[in-house]
Amino acid sequence: MDLVELKNIIENARIKKKISQRELARLSGINRSSLNDIINGKIKKIDVDSLKKIAETLDLPLTILLRVAGYDEFLDYLSKDKYK
């Protein structure tokens, strides 16, 4: 997992949408301290549901957040022909 890249992706998208971290937490339904821990790399394995909420709120592709968060094997598995 690349915590710096994940932070940069989330923060850049948040700034582009012109919302605060507090607003991102409210809109995504993620506890503000949990969101802060995700952004600051204090959570080493972020759950997929939280990544999905962040992606939806910031209009980001979930696959990008999953890849950066270390879910490569999961994404590779889903990309097999039988899941397309």
Paired tokens of 19? 């919302």
Closest CA to 27 of 65, 54, 62, 59: 54
Largest interatomic CA distance in the chain? 40
- pTM of the full structure: 0.83
Residue 49 and residue 42 in contact, taking contact as beta carbons nearer than 8 Å: no
At residue 79 the predicted structure's pLDDT band, cuts being 50, 70 and 90, is: low
Residue 51 and residue 65 in contact, taking contact as beta carbons nearer than 8 Å: yes
Opening angle at CA 50, ends 47 and 55, nearest 5: 125
What does the pLDDT look like over 7-27, one tens digit per residue?
999 999 999 999 999 999 999
**What would the mean pLDDT of 58-74 be, rounded to a whole number?**
88
At residue 41 the predicted structure's pLDDT band, cuts being 50, 70 and 90, is: confident
